[in-house]
Amino acid sequence: MTQPAPWSRWNPPVVLQLGLLLAFTTLAILFWTKAVWPQRFLWPQASGEAIFCIRTQDPVMALTFDDGPHPIYTPAILDVLEAYQAKSTFFAIGRHLEQYPHIAQSLVDQGHELANHTFSHPDLNRRLRSEIEREVQQTDTLLAPLVKSSQPYFRPPYGHANLVVMQALKDMGRPILFWDVDLLDWSGLSVAQMMTMLAKQAHPGAIVLMHDASPSPDGSPQASRQKTVELVKQILATYTPQGYRFVTLSELLTLGTPQASPSFCR
């Protein structure tokens, strides 16, 4: 009878198996966060078609909000902005516009700006060109009664925009607005931690990314954005006395030179 090879009888202890799994998971996360995720802006930067901030000496920033509108958090953020006479740009998801058109109208009535964040918040890098165009056009139709431009600003979900996405948007004549300050308000950080992040990154001409809702179909009522509401209060209370103004993207772009890479923003 043939004897099995010695290694075929090796059965690592459960603790060792768990350790190997943990090590592999840690390496995968490190690879994603250090190598893959930072490169998601590679094609937008290479294309020269995207804007990440502006160069200006004026003490001005643009606070932008993705994924809304939301029936609780968007109005709460609007109240804070109004208290400081600040204006912002909201990148809305089409299906949320369908659910809460009155909130979108209120937002515009208060002097804020609406922009396009697709209809259903897919990863456009995984979509055919026809699907990309449909996502943009569906939301454009909903935005049409609410915006002055026939080609409102666009921001791709997750910041994902490969060569196909960028070419489709270019052919549609679509202005693509990213950000250079991401406060990760969806990640569970405390308001204090996010304010520390902002203190290290804030500068005249910055475009700041936050979220007033969840991208899920029902807006994930359980996914609280209350920290974002508190964060906006802290930002305005801290930077307004320093002379900063908070404006829409349309106004920001008139105050300096648009930059096609976050590397040129500070």
From CA 178, how far away is CA 73, in angstroms rounded? 22
Fold of the CATH domain 50-264: TIM Barrel (3.20.20)
Contacts of 264 (CB under 8 A, 6+ apart): 52, 53, 55
Q: Are 62 and 89 in contact (CB under 8 A)?
A: yes
From CA 121, how far away is CA 32, in angstroms rounded? 21
How large is the C-alpha radius of gyration of the chain? 22
Angstrom distances, CA of residue 35 to CA of 15, 40, 52, 158, 248 = 29, 10, 20, 16, 32
What residue spans define the domains of the chain? 50-264
From CA 193, how far away is CA 179, in angstroms rounded? 19
Q: Is 211 a catalytic residue?
A: yes
* pLDDT by residue, tens only, the chain of 266 residues: 556 555 455 566 777 777 777 777 766 655 544 444 455 677 777 777 899 999 999 999 999 999 999 999 999 999 999 999 999 999 999 999 999 999 999 999 999 999 999 999 999 999 999 999 999 999 999 999 999 888 899 999 999 999 999 999 999 998 899 999 999 999 989 999 999 999 999 999 999 999 999 887 654 544 689 999 999 999 999 999 999 999 999 999 999 999 999 988 98
Where does residue 33 rank: exposed (0-12), middle (13-18), buried (19+ CB within 10 A)?
exposed
Q: In this structure, how many other beta carbons lie within 10 angstroms of the beta carbon of residue 73?
A: 25
Active site residue: 58, 66, 67, 117, which one?
66
Active site residue: 96, 112, 117, 211, which one?
211
Q: What is the pLDDT of residue 266?
A: 81
Q: Is 66 a catalytic residue?
A: yes
Q: What is the pLDDT of residue 32?
A: 47
Q: What is the pLDDT of residue 44?
A: 79
Q: What is the pLDDT of residue 203?
A: 98
Angstrom distances, CA of residue 155 to CA of 25, 91, 159 = 31, 7, 7
Q: Are 251 and 87 in contact (CB under 8 A)?
A: yes
Kind of pairing between the strands at 257-259 and 206-211: unpaired
